[in-house]
Structure 1
Amino acid sequence: MPAVPTRRASLARRIILALLFGLAVAGAVLTTAPPASAASQGAGFGTWAPLSAHGWHGSMLIDGVHTYCIVPGLPAPTGPSTDHGVRGDAAGLSPQQLAGINHLVTTYGQTADPVQAASVGWAVKAIADLDTTLHSWGYPGDSLAGAVDHIFSRLAPEHSADIQQKAEAYYAEGMAVTVPGADAALTLTTDDADPRRGTLRMDGGAGTAVILALENAVFAETGTAELARTVPGTAYEIRAVAPDDAGAPFTVRASAAVSATIAPAVRYFTTEGQQHTAGPGGSVHYTVTTEDDIPRPVVFSAGITTQVLAPESATGHFVDDVTLTPVEGVWPRSADGAFVPVRATAVVYRTDAAPAGPDVPADAVPVGELELVTEPAQGGGTYRVTSPWQLPGPGYYTAVWEIAASAQEPSVAPHLERDYRWSEDFGVPSQVLHVPTPPVAQPAPDDAPRALAATGLWDDAGARVGAGGCAALLAGVAILVHLAQRRRVAAR
């Protein structure tokens, strides 16, 4: 019956696979279980046994690390101990208790001195549970020094006073440890009037050392991008620096490297049915970051050079070639990559005499204004500006250009310095246009002789000749009348 061996082989294979799977699972459990290591007697006084007349007062060595009891009243941990690693929740203790215990076992507990080890042991137990520490050996009072003496006056009286003094000092020091905060947070601010300026502040992180670092900015106080020994809650002034010459908006980023010598944690060991012990829990190291919510605009200083189209003109418009260039920095761009449009204005003055600057004289009369707004596609460069009005008459015309932050659109003003104003001097030769006074018209000379008018009147010369003839005729008539009269008288 050939089918039977086949079923038997299949069953065997299933059994083998099941065994292999079980071994694999068991192996995984074994490899992931916490490591176990037996504790041994460290430095201290008393009897190394789970229970004894006066107990064990000092450290327990586990893998070469001095550990200390954190659950007063339990037997000494002479059996195999399980290492749970560095924990911030060991034995249900608070961060304040764990920080104090970590400080003591790290700073003073790694010692072979039995007096110091015993003193650390009493202080650590007192931080973990003061009431049980005081009374677990029958001491009725409320003094840590009294509880120590209650044991050591019989166990090692020659060391009692020293251990009392050290235990109380260590306890006070451990209780005073500042819990290093893991809640550090950074805040960046931007000055609305000058986006190159602002502050960086770190809140939280109590009891830690902090190194602040900036990207695309420096600290105003030092001119560096890194600042050590900072104080939480303090706002440090910063100065933003564009990362390149592209003129595009940029983002300031900040980070804080937070550290503390003592973490609110311990290296946690447990021994079944016996003591829980604590070894050094290490330090605190973490980093927090932040960055601008809105990219910062590039700030620059703009200036103008100008040239009138013609130095003299009989009449017409005032025509000016105006060149705008950055005096400091680069021409900024908006978020879409276009150059920001800058507005420049000018007042044109008229004077009778050739102008002399740099100030506008009292007799200069303003006759009109000019305006220029740069093109987003061009930015800086030369623009021709023609007045919408005509020159009113002879004189010297001088344009005085200026760029003011107050004259810009709200989106453009942040690209200029706070209260920025660039103004041209009065009387710059390239800005003067002269309209000369036209000459007075003179009558043309007439040498041709005048003909007698059709009315029969003579010209001046003829009139003088005629008048002379008439006078002679009248004189002759008068003489003849006189002679005739004399003859009549003689006849009578």
Structure 2
Amino acid sequence: MHHSPPSRRRTLAALGVIAALLGGLGIAPAAQAADRGTGFGTWAPLSRTGWHGSMRVGDVHTYCIHPGLPVATDATTDRGISSDVNGLSPQQLVSINYLISTYGQTGDAVQAAGVGWAVKAIVDRDTTLHSWGYTGDSFPEAIDHIMRRASPENSAAVQDHAVRYLAEAEAIDVPRVGGALTLTTRDDDPTRGTVTAEVDATATGTLHLDNAVFADTGTTDRSDVRAGQVYDIVAPASSSDQGRPYTVRATGAFAVRSAAIHHFSTPGQQESAGPAGPTTFTLTTQDATPRPVRFAPRIETTARIEGGRFVDLVTVAATDGVWPRHADGSFVVIAATADVYRTGAYPAEAEDVPSNLTPVMRLDLRTDPLAGAGTYEVASDTLPGPGVYTAVWRVMRDDQDADVVAHLPAGYHWQERFASPTQTEQLAPEPPRVDPSPSPTPSSTSSPAASAPASPAPAAALAATGMSAASLGGAGGAAAAALGLGVVAWAFARRRSTPKV
């Protein structure tokens, strides 16, 4: 077996790797022979009739852009997409590209010949008219001068196509590449706005939204976007980062017709143009100012009277569940106020406060910037006296701090119903005071005479009582007997002391 020297083997291996890489990347050869495309005439560098139509380079129909040079039958080099070819202006390039892209990729000989004549006239009208011996200044006549030899039966049709194509191409404007997207925010509702693409009138494209959707479809993407069309968008508060101010972003991808051609050249022979794809560009924008989270706070309350004061448990919440925050993460502070009314009896519940009532006091609440939504306890001063008390809470946009106003809808005003059961409590009057200690028994007043010892009653008097000494039992009977003996002794002593006469 024959082996190549080591150095040769290494060289062959390296070449094989390079070839494999080039094949994997799909790199086409720099040059390839152009083939006859679609048209009329003689496919040769020089001939009496020339060639009027397309040349094929691979699968692409290309057309002459250098009138007067021989047909490109030799190896043709692909120069790629170019907007700088032989000093052609953007207007010439966009017209040529329009014709070749719109009508040139065809198998119809009349159509291909019409494109070929129109393209050459755009590049150099004078040379196109007079290269084959025609001396006049009529484009149709110049075409007929040649086509009577190449294909007389198709001459009129080729003329018609060429004249029409030339007029269309010359009417094509050079498109503007680039532009701008514009986002707006509605003053009365930051969740609403619009997006508009300010691009060339011929541009087509798509739009993508971040933190918003298109109002009519509810999607973040839209195709077939047209210049100047205003699209309504919705940027819900749920798009925010836990209630922080948020920004809507829009990205657009657009395409316009290129003022360029796919350039092919053949040394010593014709240069030709193939279709150039559209020129694409991307636009982006975002809100100039972040959107504040708009919300509608609501209050639920439960009141009681305690220690002679009106005490309210106030639960504050966001209707849509998103409590807004400032950029630093602190919660927006909401101020709420309640008027407290006093009546003699339980009032009827009503939507509004009766016009004949006047508040007797006021309660104020400010939510905690570190907590936001939650339940807060608010107590009044000492109530002015017995009665039925009811509180009516309200949240008004005009009562808020300046940095909070933007978070509430214009004219926002929320208020409780009057005399709702959870907000109505009675303070009863105090009962009469009762002294727990007993009152002293009043003492009777006696005259000095009444307090002296009573004179002994005569026996007759004692008998008149209907009671006898014997009927007095115990100590009572003995006392009566002693009293009787005393009376007898007193009478006896008095007789002895009386002087005798």
Q: Shared topology, TM-score over 0.5?
A: yes
TM-superposition CA deviations, 1:320-364 (whole Å, max 9, x none) = 221101222322222112222112122223333322222211221
Q: Distance in 1 between matches of 2:227 and 2:318?
A: 40
1:128 to 123, 126, 130: 123
TM-superposition CA deviations, 1:406-431 (whole Å, max 9, x none) = 32223222323343322111111222
TM-superposition CA deviations, 1:157-212 (whole Å, max 9, x none) = 21110100111122223233454542132122222332211111111143122222
Aligned to 1:186: 181
Paired residue secondary structure (1:412) = helix
Q: Distance in 1 between matches of 2:291 and 2:442?
A: 87
Matched, 1:247 2:243: yes
2:323 to 331, 339, 344: 331
1:371 to 364, 367, 390: 364
Q: CA deviation at 1:145?
A: 1.8
2:219 to 206, 215, 224: 224
Aligned to 2:277: 282
Aligned to 2:142: 147
Q: Distance in 1 between matches of 2:443 and 2:68?
A: 152
Q: Distance in 2 between matches of 1:331 and 1:198?
A: 21
In structure 2, relative to structure 1, the CA distance for the partners of 1:94 and 1:372 (3 Å cut) is: farther
Aligned to 2:494: none
Aligned to 1:411: 403
What amino acid is aligned across from residue 253 of structure 1 in structure 2?
A: R
Matched, 1:396 2:388: yes
> Is 1:332–1:415's contact at 8 Å kept on the other side of the alignment?
yes
Aligned to 1:7: none
Q: CA RMSD in A?
A: 3.3
In structure 2, relative to structure 1, the CA distance for the partners of 1:143 and 1:346 (3 Å cut) is: farther
Q: Distance in 2 between matches of 1:112 and 1:439?
A: 113
TM-superposition CA deviations, 1:102-127 (whole Å, max 9, x none) = 23223322233332221110111223
Q: CA deviation at 1:441?
A: 9.7
Q: Distance in 2 between matches of 1:235 and 1:450?
A: 109
2:108 to 113, 117, 134: 113
Q: CA deviation at 1:33?
A: 12
Q: Distance in 2 between matches of 1:368 and 1:67?
A: 91
What amino acid is aligned across from residue 374 of structure 2 in structure 1?
A: G
Q: Distance in 2 between matches of 1:129 and 1:349?
A: 95
Q: CA deviation at 1:82?
A: 2.2
- 1:189-200 matched pairs, under 5 angstroms: 189-200=184-195
> Is 1:180–1:284's contact at 8 Å kept on the other side of the alignment?
no
Q: Distance in 2 between matches of 1:329 and 1:180?
A: 49
Paired residue secondary structure (1:74) = coil
In structure 2, relative to structure 1, the CA distance for the partners of 1:384 and 1:369 (3 Å cut) is: same
Matched, 1:233 2:225: no
In structure 2, relative to structure 1, the CA distance for the partners of 1:33 and 1:363 (3 Å cut) is: closer
TM-superposition CA deviations, 1:391-444 (whole Å, max 9, x none) = 3444333221122233222322232334332211111122224344567999xx
- 1:445-460 matched pairs, under 5 angstroms: none
Q: Which moved more, 1:333-342 or 1:41-50?
A: 41-50
Aligned to 2:170: 175
Unpaired runs of at least 5, structure 2? 1-26, 447-501
> Is 1:178–1:207's contact at 8 Å kept on the other side of the alignment?
no
Aligned to 2:416: 424
2:78 to 67, 75, 83: 83
Paired residue secondary structure (1:107) = helix
TM-superposition CA deviations, 1:106-161 (whole Å, max 9, x none) = 33222333322211101112233334433444445444222211222343221110
Aligned to 1:259: 255
> Is 1:255–1:290's contact at 8 Å kept on the other side of the alignment?
yes
Q: Which moved more, 1:43-52 or 1:60-69?
A: 43-52
Q: CA deviation at 1:248?
A: 2.9
> Is 1:59–1:67's contact at 8 Å kept on the other side of the alignment?
yes
Q: Distance in 1 between matches of 2:92 and 2:445?
A: 137
2:203 to 201, 208, 212: 208
Q: Distance in 1 between matches of 2:444 and 2:98?
A: 133
> Is 1:299–1:329's contact at 8 Å kept on the other side of the alignment?
no
**Structure having the higher Rg:** 2
- 1:50-65 matched pairs, under 5 angstroms: 50-65=45-60
What amino acid is aligned across from residue 338 of structure 2 in structure 1?
A: A
Paired residue secondary structure (1:108) = helix
In structure 2, relative to structure 1, the CA distance for the partners of 1:448 and 1:279 (3 Å cut) is: same
Aligned length: 418
Q: Distance in 2 between matches of 1:113 and 1:56?
A: 15
Aligned to 2:377: 384
Unpaired runs of at least 5, structure 1? 1-31, 453-492
Aligned to 1:40: 35
Matched, 1:294 2:286: no
Q: Distance in 1 between matches of 2:355 and 2:107?
A: 94
> Is 2:203–2:226's contact at 8 Å kept on the other side of the alignment?
no
> Is 2:264–2:273's contact at 8 Å kept on the other side of the alignment?
yes
Q: CA deviation at 1:69?
A: 1.1
Paired residue secondary structure (2:331) = coil
Aligned to 1:343: 335
Matched, 1:160 2:160: no
Q: CA deviation at 1:97?
A: 2.8
Q: Distance in 2 between matches of 1:170 and 1:362?
A: 83
Give % identity: 51
Aligned to 1:352: 344
Matched, 1:308 2:303: yes
Q: Distance in 2 between matches of 1:247 and 1:363?
A: 42
Q: Distance in 1 between matches of 2:268 and 2:95?
A: 25
Q: Distance in 2 between matches of 1:318 and 1:275?
A: 100
Length-normalised TM-score, structure 1: 0.75
